[in-house]
Structure 1
Amino acid sequence: MKKITMQQIADHLGVSKFVVSKALSGKGGVNEATKNRVIEAASQLGYFAQKNAYIKNQADPHSYSETSSRQSVIVLMPNIRFQTRESLYWGRILEGISGELERRGLGMVIISESRVDNILHILNPGGILGMIGVGQIDSSLLLEVHRLGIATVLVDHEDALIPTDTVFANNMDSIARLCTHLIGLGHRKLSFIGDLSFSRSFRDRWFGFRDAMERSGLEPQQMDDPMLCLKGVESGEYAEELTELFRSKQREDKLPSALVCANDLIALQVIAILQEIDVSVPEQVSVSGFDNIDDATRGAISLTTVNVPKEAIGRRAVKKLMERIENPDMTIEKILMSTELVLRDSTKAPSSSVN
């Protein structure tokens, strides 16, 4: 393949090679809008995908061993409010990562810094073996890692601009199986609840929901439905708005018979809201989640959900990172981990008066 140069990127955008060089160097000198245009054009032209586009990691790919503790892996989790060890979801993934690293005699350094200029001094390619990014990470941060040639695997996130190995739960197929089960119970009025802009996993779960509905001859909700754009899904700040929406649907007798939530935290909040407005779960409305966090079984109504093998995802990310270090030229992979449908008390066949 013909090598893509900075001059070609400059010609494509109608700017100078100097501007392109500044934008790709990460050292400043161009405004944010121009930098983003350059990064996007470079990605589209294949600049990032070619060999020697950036400095290569000088760490010896064979320098780690099962007993050596001299090498460490960075675990980058910029969303410090929600992507922490205490998180019911992310914490389990971290346990899988740390356990597999420990088994291999490797150290782990968790970084929650989100500013590129503050993280550059940490990302010393000669001092680390590789990096695992967990959850949402800005493109600018990933670009710095890519620029330094640090082997990287992303968990539950991918970036269209930067080619990287990724590990996900099989979100689309999993939610489709869940929806097919609910439809098989007799539900015909199903709605998805989440924020489609929140993460790739949420969007994939929506795609799976939509596919199951269409294959069953049912009409999925419209994209402008407010239940598809909840704000503050991490903190639950959408609760008041969602309560009013449910009250309105209740008055109009338009409540769905089944609510398919993008994750368990949303599902548990939805159950609390429905109980607050005197809608019984699952007698009037069935509710399902996704992830199978510990709290899914702690309430008065245990939650039907999809069990995500969180620790296994963390372990697989480490294994993929080691494979990438050993074989840097191997084809980039997107790994989908199998899940399991967990049926509990929050779902049942709809009553004739509901459906």
Structure 2
Amino acid sequence: MKKVTMQQIADHLGVSKFVVSKALSGKGGVNEMTKERVIQAASQLGYFNQKNGYVKNVRPAMGTAVIPPGKQSVLVLMPNIRSQNKESLYWGKVLEGISDELEEQNLGMIIVSEPRTEVMMNIINPEGILGMIGVGQIATSLLLEVHRTGLPMVLVDHEDNLIPADSIFANNVDGTYRMANHLIGLGHRQLHFLGNLNFSRSFRDRWIGFRSALEENGLDVQMHNDPMLFLDSVETGGFGPGLKEWLQARKQSKPAALPTALVCANDSIALHTIGILRELDIRVPEDITVTGFDNIDDAARFEPAITTVSVPKEQLGRRAVTKLLDRLADSNRAVEKWLISVELLYRQSASKPGAAAHASI
């Protein structure tokens, strides 16, 4: 395969090779818009797929010793966006798992919650940083800064097409596949997915599992342009007015066309959805079954308790540490994606389709 050069990228964009070199090396002198254009063009031309596609600092080989003598630290990057913070019922548990495993390994942890691209090099270069664990959605530009240093990294619940890195996910596809099959087994035939496919890789995978179950059972699958697949502000519940309008229209149609089950991309969406249904005098689960995903603490305490998919959040964090240590021991192994098994929890928000639901068929 012919090597892709910086000159080819420059010609493709109509800029100088000097600009491309600056953008790809992380040096200053190039504005963010140009930098993003260069990165995108480099990706499209296959530059990043090459072995030497990134400019890296050479880190000394560690041999058979995974951790050098003395206490070392791991950088944990968890941008405070989309409720990705220590107070989150989901991300906080992941962080606890990382912290507990690092403590057991006698390793320290440096948490960076609001990083800026231009200062990342000052953060990640200190001696003693073994590698980085990224938690949740992280901008490509930040990951690129880490990758340039040669630091090994592991991403939790996120992956980036431009940055080769090990990743840890819950088995999202399997979780919604099994949930949808469970509901179909209860007798549901009008199932609808609620989420935002552009929000995260996990949400897209959960939709894929849901869709696969319906297709295998010969049931109609909602169209890809369905607004319920692209809800606004899923992290804050800001989708409420749009969902309410959608439900009202279906409830008032002749004949009524309410689904019998709403499969939500996570528990937070499920909790907000049940609130909207109550405003419309639609009962859960008597009229509509509602399920979630993640098993946050509020899902069990809610009335009715939410039928959900339990994600072992602490284990995601612990396994991220394990994967990072594996990478330190063998930097030449292929990039890996680990899937952690999930478990269905059957609670009160799901039941067989009721009389009201059958009337709408």
Counterpart CA distance in 2 for 1:306 and 1:13 is: 46
SS in structure 1 at match of 2:124: coil
- Deviation track 1:219-262 (CA, whole Å, cap 9, x = no partner) reads 11112222111111111122222222222222122211000000
Conserved in 1, the CA contact under 8 Å of 2:186 and 2:353? yes
Pairing of 1:328-343 with structure 2 (within 5 A)? 328-343=331-346
Cα 1:111–1:241 change in 2 (3 A) is same
Residue in 2 aligned with 1:234? 235
Shift of 1:117: 1.2
Equivalent pair of 2:48/2:162 in contact (CA under 8 Å): no
Q: TM-score, normalised by structure 2?
A: 0.92
State the distance in 1 between where 2:82 and 2:235 align: 9
After TM superposition, the structure 1 = structure 2 runs for residues 29-48 of structure 1, keeping only pairs within 5 Å, are: 29-44=29-44, 45-47=46-48
Residue 282 (structure 1) aligns with: 285
Higher mean C-alpha deviation, range 201-210 or range 120-129: 120-129
Partner of 2:322: 319
> Is the Cα–Cα contact under 8 Å of residues 125 and 149 in structure 1 kept in the other structure?
no
2:275 aligned partner: 272
Paired position in structure 2 for 1:218: 219
Per the TM alignment, residue 133 of structure 1 is displaced from its structure 2 partner at its CA by: 0.3
CA deviation after TM superposition for structure 1 residue 14, in Å: 4.6
Instruction: Say which is worse superposed, 234-243 or 329-338, in terms of deviation.
Output: 234-243
CA distance in 1, matches of 2:356, 2:302: 27
AA matched with 2:37? R
Say if 2:312 is the partner of 1:304. no
Q: Kindly provide the amino acid, as one letter, of the partner of residue 194 in structure 1.
A: G
Aligned partner of 1:188 in structure 2 is 189
Amino acid at match of 1:145: V
1:44-83 correspondence runs (5 A): 44=44, 45-47=46-48, 49-51=50-52, 53-56=54-57, 58=59, 61=62, 62=65, 64=67, 68-69=70-71, 71-80=72-81, 82-83=83-84
Alignment partner of 2:155: what SS? strand
1:295 alignment counterpart: 298
Question: In the aligned structure 2, how far is the partner of 1:318 from the partner of 1:49?
Answer: 27
Cα deviation, 1:301-343, whole Å, max 9, x if unaligned, reads 0110001011111111001011111111110001111101111
Aligned residue identity for 1:264: D
Tell me, yes or no, if the aligned pair for 2:94 and 2:313 is still in contact at 8 Å: yes
| Aligned residue number for residue 160 of structure 2 | 159
Contact conserved, 1:59 with 1:127, CA < 8 A, in 2? no
Structure 1: segments with no counterpart, 5+ residues? none
d(CA) in 1 for partners of 2:60 and 2:238?
45
Stretch of structure 1 that moved more, 99-108 or 119-128: 119-128
User: 2:263 maps to what in 1?
Assistant: 260
SS in structure 2 at match of 1:93:
helix
Shift of 1:47: 3.1
Q: Give the alignment's Cα RMSD to 1 decimal.
A: 2.0
Judged with a 3 Å threshold, the aligned counterparts in structure 2 of structure 1 residues 158 and 172 are, in CA distance, closer, same or farther, namely same
Counting aligned pairs with the same residue, the percent is 58
Return the alpha-carbon distance in structure 2 between the equivalents of residues 57 and 350 of structure 1: 61
Q: Specify whether residues 137 and 85 from structure 1 end up closer, same or farther in structure 2 by C-alpha distance, changes over 3 A only.
A: same
CA distance in 1, matches of 2:58, 2:76: 17
Secondary structure at the counterpart of residue 290 of structure 2: strand
2:26 match: 26
Deviations 1:142-187 (A, max 9, x none): 1111111111000000001111110000111111110011111111
Query: Which amino acid in the other structure matches residue 159 of structure 2?
Result: E
In the alignment, the residues of structure 1 paired with residue 318 and residue 221 of structure 2 have an alpha-carbon distance, to the nearest angstrom, of 36
Task: Provide the secondary structure at the position in 2 that maps to 1:121.
Answer: helix
Is the 1:84–1:91 Cα contact (8 Å) retained in structure 2? yes
State the Cα distance separating 1:28 from its structure 2 match: 3.7
Q: How does the TM-score come out when normalised to structure 1?
A: 0.93
CA contact (8 A) 2:5 2:47 kept: no
Distance 1:298 1:129, change over 3 A: same
Which 5+ residue runs of structure 2 have no aligned equivalent? none
Letter in 2 for 1:314: G
Question: AA paired with 2:10?
Answer: A
**Aligned-partner SS, 2:294:** coil
Change (3 A) 1:300 1:57: farther
Deviation of 1:37 (Å): 2.9
CA distance in 2, matches of 1:338, 1:59: 36
Q: 1:51 to 1:23 in 2, by over 3 A?
A: closer
Structure 1 consecutive aligned stretches of length 4 or more whose deviation exceeds 4 Å: 1-4, 11-14
1:57-206 equivalences under 5 Å are: 58=59, 61=62, 62=65, 64=67, 68-69=70-71, 71-80=72-81, 82-124=83-125, 126-206=127-207
Query: How many angstroms does 1:276 deviate by?
Result: 1.8
Is 1:57–1:126's contact at 8 Å kept on the other side of the alignment? no
CA distance in 2, matches of 1:103, 1:258: 43
Once the two structures are TM-superposed, the CA of residue 4 in structure 1 deviates from its matched residue by 4.4
Provide the C-alpha distance between the structure 1 equivalents of 2:183 and 2:307, rounded to a whole number of angstroms: 11
Matched position secondary structure for 1:74: strand
Count residues with an aligned counterpart. Answer: 353
Which amino acid in the other structure matches residue 268 of structure 1?
L
Structure 2 SS opposite 1:354: helix
Determine the C-alpha separation between the residues in 2 that align with 1:81 and 1:215. 34
Query: Which residue number corresponds to residue 17 of structure 1?
Result: 17
